[in-house]
C-alpha cells in the first residue's frame, strides 16, 4: 500500500491511496471466518460453513467493507502522521471511478483543503478598549427597593397608599346606577389597581368601608380570563358582563418593605456577610458590578475580534472546496443557495481559524474543574433570575452535577468554557484601554 499527497495550490491538495489485494486479503478472510462462526446457514453447522460458501454468500459485501475500512484508517492516519491541518473533511475526488466488486487493485483519491497559516502575535502591541459600566446611586437604590419589597411583609391598613395594594371587597352588579334585580353578586374578590388597565384612578386613596363604582370589563380591557377571575365566574359567563359594579371595600393589604436590620441583611447575603448599612450598600454595588461585567466582556469580545482581525490581515480560504463540503454534509445547503450562505459565514470561518491559533498559542485547555465551576455559576445565575441570591452551596452542587450528566449540556458548557478561556487569554495579552461609561453610552456603542 502506498499513501501520498500532492498540492494543487496553497489551499488544496489530493491524497492518493494505492492498495493491492495483498493489503486487504487477510482482513477479508478473517472477517469471513467471523461471519461463518455467527451465521445460521441451512445445511451447515454453525462454525463449519465452507470458505467457498462464505465467499459466494458474503464475499462481495465483506470485501467492500474491509477495503473501505482500510482506506478510512489509512487516510486519517496519514493526515495525523503528517500533521496536515485540514478544513472540513476529506472528500472523494469527483473524477474517480472505483469498482470494488470487479477490481482487486485500487487507487483512491481524496480532495482535501489545507487550512491557511495564521501569523499573528497577540500581545500589548494590540490595543482593545474595555468598557466598565458605571454603577450609579440610582441603580443601587432600585436594587435596594427590590430587595426590601422581596423581604417585606403584608400588613392590613385602613387606606390604600399605592397601586400595588391588594383591595378586598364584595361587588354588586348595577343597572341605571342601582343594584340590578337578579344581577350578579360577588361575595368576595381581591384586586390590585396596579393590574387594572383602566379606571385605576377610582381606587386612589380608597379606604375600608368605601364604595367604588367601576366597570370591570373596562378595567380588564375585555380580557375574559382576568374578568372571570375578578368575578369568580366561568369565562362563558364573564364574556357577557358589560355593566358597572359597586365594590364595597372590606380590607386593604399593603406590602410593607423590610427595614435595614440584621435580619434583612442576613436574608439577602447570608448570615453575618454584612453587618451595617455601609457594608450593605457596598455589597449591593459589588453585586450590580458583577452583573454588568458580562456585558463589558461581551463588548470586549466584539472589539477584540476587530482588533485581532486587523492585525492578522486578509487571507484566503479554499472557498470552492468548503462550499462543496457544506452541500455534501448539511441538508440546509444546496447548490442553489450555497454561494449566498457561504458569503454569510466566511468571516466567522476565518475568525474560527484565528481562535484556534490563539488557543494553540496560549495552550488553552478545559479541565473538569473548569466545567464544574462554570456549571455552578450558570446554576447560580438561574436561581438569581428568580430572586434567589443566597442559595446553599450544596444545592448549587447538586443542580450543577445534574447539568454535567447531560451530554448536550456538557457540550455547551465545554464550548462556553473554551470561549471564555480564549477571551481571558486575549484580555491578559493585549493592552486594555479601560474606560468607565454610563449604561446609556454603553448602549450607543451597539447602535453604531
Confidence check: pLDDT of 353 > 80: yes
Choice among 29-38, 89-98, 341-350 with the minimum mean pLDDT: 29-38
68-84 pLDDT per residue, tens: 999 999 999 999 999 99
Please report which confidence band the pLDDT of residue 101 belongs to, taking 50, 70 and 90 as the band edges. confident
Compute the distance between CA of residue 29 and CA of residue 46 in angstroms, rounded to an integer: 17
Kindly give the residue spans of alpha helices, DSSP state H, lying in 362-385: 368-385
Please report which confidence band the pLDDT of residue 45 belongs to, taking 50, 70 and 90 as the band edges. low
Are 217 and 245 within 8 A, CB to CB?
A: no
Average pLDDT value for residue range 291-318: 95
Are 379 and 400 within 8 A, CB to CB?
A: yes
Confidence check: pLDDT of 150 > 80: yes
pLDDT of residue 393: 80
Strand partners, 130: 434
pTM of the model: 0.75
Choice among 13-27, 279-293, 368-382 with the minimum mean pLDDT: 368-382
Please report which confidence band the pLDDT of residue 262 belongs to, taking 50, 70 and 90 as the band edges. very high
Element counts in the chain: helices (H) and strands (E):
14, 12
Copy the grid coordinates of residue 244. Answer: 358597572
Confidence check: pLDDT of 389 > 70: no
pLDDT of residue 171: 97
pLDDT of residue 383: 79
Compute the distance between CA of residue 310 and CA of residue 259 in angstroms, rounded to an integer: 54
Compute the distance between CA of residue 132 and CA of residue 139 in angstroms, rounded to an integer: 15
Give whole-number Cα distances, 47 to 42, 58, 65, 93, in Å: 12, 15, 21, 41
156-181 pLDDT per residue, tens: 999 999 999 999 999 999 999 899 99
pLDDT of residue 48: 66
User: What torsion do the CA atoms of 190, 194, 198, 200 make, to the nearest 10 degrees?
Assistant: 80
pLDDT of residue 82: 93
Choice among 38-52, 101-115, 181-195, 265-279 with the minimum mean pLDDT: 38-52
User: What torsion do the CA atoms of 88, 89, 90, 95 make, to the nearest 10 degrees?
Assistant: -70
Average pLDDT value for residue range 405-424: 92
Are 207 and 193 within 8 A, CB to CB?
A: no
Domains, the chain, ranges and CATH?
A: 2-114 (3.30.70.1050), 127-141+275-447 (1.10.3120), 153-256 (3.10.50.40)
Are 109 and 19 within 8 A, CB to CB?
A: no
Sign of CA dihedral 438, 442, 445, 446: negative
The per-residue pLDDT of the chain, averaged, comes to 91
Amino acid at each position: 500500500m502506498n499513501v501520498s499527497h500532492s498540492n494543487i495550490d496553497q489551499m488544496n491538495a489530493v491524497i492518493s491511496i494505492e492498495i493491492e489485494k495483498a493489503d486487504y486479503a487477510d482482513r477479508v478472510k478473517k472477517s469471513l471466518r467471523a461471519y461463518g462462526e455467527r451465521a445460521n446457514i441451512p445445511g451447515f453447522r454453525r462454525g463449519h460453513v465452507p470458505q467457498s460458501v462464505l465467499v459466494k454468500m458474503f464475499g462481495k459485501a465483506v470485501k467492500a467493507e474491509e477495503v473501505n475500512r482500510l482506506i478510512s484508517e489509512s487516510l486519517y492516519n496519514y493526515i495525523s502522521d503528517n500533521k496536515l491541518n485540514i478544513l472540513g473533511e476529506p472528500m472523494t475526488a469527483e473524477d474517480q471511478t472505483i469498482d470494488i466488486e470487479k477490481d482487486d487493485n485500487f487507487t483512491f483519491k481524496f480532495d482535501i483543503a489545507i487550512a491557511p497559516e495564521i501569523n499573528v502575535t497577540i500581545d500589548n502591541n494590540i490595543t482593545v478598549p474595555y468598557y466598565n459600566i458605571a454603577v450609579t446611586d440610582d441603580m443601587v437604590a432600585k436594587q435596594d427597593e427590590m430587595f426590601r419589597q422581596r423581604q417585606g411583609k403584608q400588613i392590613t391598613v385602613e387606606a390604600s397608599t399605592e397601586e400595588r395594594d391588594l383591595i378586598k371587597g364584595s361587588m354588586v352588579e348595577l343597572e341605571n346606577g342601582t343594584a340590578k334585580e337578579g344581577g350578579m353578586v360577588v361575595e368576595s374578590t381581591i384586586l390590585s389597581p396596579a393590574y387594572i388597565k383602566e379606571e385605576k384612578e377610582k381606587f386612589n386613596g380608597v379606604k375600608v368601608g368605601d364604595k367604588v363604582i367601576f366597570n370591570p370589563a373596562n378595567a380588564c380591557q375585555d380580557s375574559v380570563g382576568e374578568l372571570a377571575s375578578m368575578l369568580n365566574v366561568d369565562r362563558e359567563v364573564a364574556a357577557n358582563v358589560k355593566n358597572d359594579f359597586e365594590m364595597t371595600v372590606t380590607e386593604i393589604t399593603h406590602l410593607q418593605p423590610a427595614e435595614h436590620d440584621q435580619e434583612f441583611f442576613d436574608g439577602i447575603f447570608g448570615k453575618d456577610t454584612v453587618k451595617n448599612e455601609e457594608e450593605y450598600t457596598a455589597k449591593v454595588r459589588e453585586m450590580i458590578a458583577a452583573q454588568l461585567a458580562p456585558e463589558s466582556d461581551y463588548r470586549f469580545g466584539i472589539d477584540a475580534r476587530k482588533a485581532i482581525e486587523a492585525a492578522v490581515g486578509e487571507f484566503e480560504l479554499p472557498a470552492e472546496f468548503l462550499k462543496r463540503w457544506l452541500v455534501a454534509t448539511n441538508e440546509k445547503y444546496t447548490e442553489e443557495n450555497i454561494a449566498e450562505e457561504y458569503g454569510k459565514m466566511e468571516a466567522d470561518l476565518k475568525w474560527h481559524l484565528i481562535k484556534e491559533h490563539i488557543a494553540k498559542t496560549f495552550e488553552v485547555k478545559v479541565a473538569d474543574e473548569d466545567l464544574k465551576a462554570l456549571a455552578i455559576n450558570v446554576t447560580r445565575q438561574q436561581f438569581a433570575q428568580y430572586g434567589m441570591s443566597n442559595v446553599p452551596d450544596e444545592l448549587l452542587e447538586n443542580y450543577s452535577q445534574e447539568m454535567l450528566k447531560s451530554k448536550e449540556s456538557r457540550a455547551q458548557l465545554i464550548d462556553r468554557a473554551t470561549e471564555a478561556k480564549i477571551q481571558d487569554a486575549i484580555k491578559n495579552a493585549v493592552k486594555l484601554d479601560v474606560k468607565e461609561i454610563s449604561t446609556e453610552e454603553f448602549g450607543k456603542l451597539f447602535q453604531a
